[in-house]
Amino acid sequence: DIQMTQFPSSLSASVGDRVTITCRASHDIDSYLGWFLQRPGQAPKSLIYAASSLQSGVPSKFSGSGSGTDFSLTIDSLQPEDFGTYYCQQYSDYPHTFGGGTKVEIK
Amino acid sequence: QVHIVQSGAEVKKPGASVKVSCKATGYTFKNFGIHWVRQAPGQRLEWMGWINAGNRNTKSAESFQDRLTISSDTSTTTAYMELRTLRSEDTAVYYCARSWVGLPIDYWGQGTLVTVSS
């Protein structure tokens, strides 16, 4: 199975901050990577597919980059609704494994 | 407007089976696939398997191979996940979610809590 590693596992940030989260794959996954946000007690929400393409309705403050094994998600001007846990997922090969998550908390 | 609604919470005893349903509306059901993802308390998301609603081909994580059945019914635009021989470690919220073939999940259901307890 392809292992997905995210770092940091958690971070504290203030409203208005710019934040970057990193995801690393154990094997080359080309650009077959998605990003998701899960707020406490809610189902995940899809943000990005193909490493850098925004899902429909997702604001441009979210941006993704990377290919191969190293990827990142950047969130500009953090707002209260952006706090929660972010997950990456590879869909290059089965099983479609998720990273361990990065919890973004309010400072 | 895409809408995915799952069946309600379940409490099961160890060794029993559970079947969760996932009703999808607002799009052409057979043109997409349905994934099943679970999340144990305080844990990461875990991908379980996927069904192509058009041809009913399935893929499952090997860790569930012998216990998991994913199915779909195009006449009712509903997908199902059945997990057998339940153990306490299967206590989790189970999500179904849609994706186009070859693309990741775009819409999620609300989740179904399955509790396994004697």
Q: Determine phi and psi for B12, rounding to 5 degrees.
A: -130, 155
Question: pLDDT tens digits for A11-46?
Answer: 999 999 999 999 999 999 999 999 999 999 999 999
Provide the pLDDT confidence category of residue B101 given band limits of 50, 70 and 90: confident
Here the tokens at position A16 are 């208005």
B-chain residue closest to A46, CA distance: B106
Within 10 angstroms of residue A60's Cβ, the number of other Cβ atoms is 7
From chain B, pick out residues whose CB is under 8 angstroms from the CB of A44. Answer: 37, 45, 95, 97, 105, 108
Give the list of residues 6+ apart from residue B99 with CB closer than 8 angstroms, or none. A91, B32, B33, B34, B35, B50, B105, B106
Residue A103 contacts B where some CB pair is shorter than 8 Å: no
Q: Do A91 and B103 touch (CB under 8 A)?
A: yes
CA A96, B71, B25, B95 dihedral sign is negative
Mean pLDDT of all residues in B110-116 = 98
Q: Measuring CA to CA, how many Å separate B12 from each of A68, B5, B25, B30, B116?
A: 42, 21, 29, 31, 5
* Residue that has been written with the tokens 């012998």 in this structure: B66
Mean residue pLDDT across chain A = 96
Question: pLDDT tens digits for B8-64?
Answer: 999 999 999 999 999 999 999 999 999 999 999 999 999 999 999 999 999 999 999
Mean pLDDT of all residues in A85-89 = 98
Question: pLDDT tens digits for A61-73?
Answer: 999 999 999 999 9
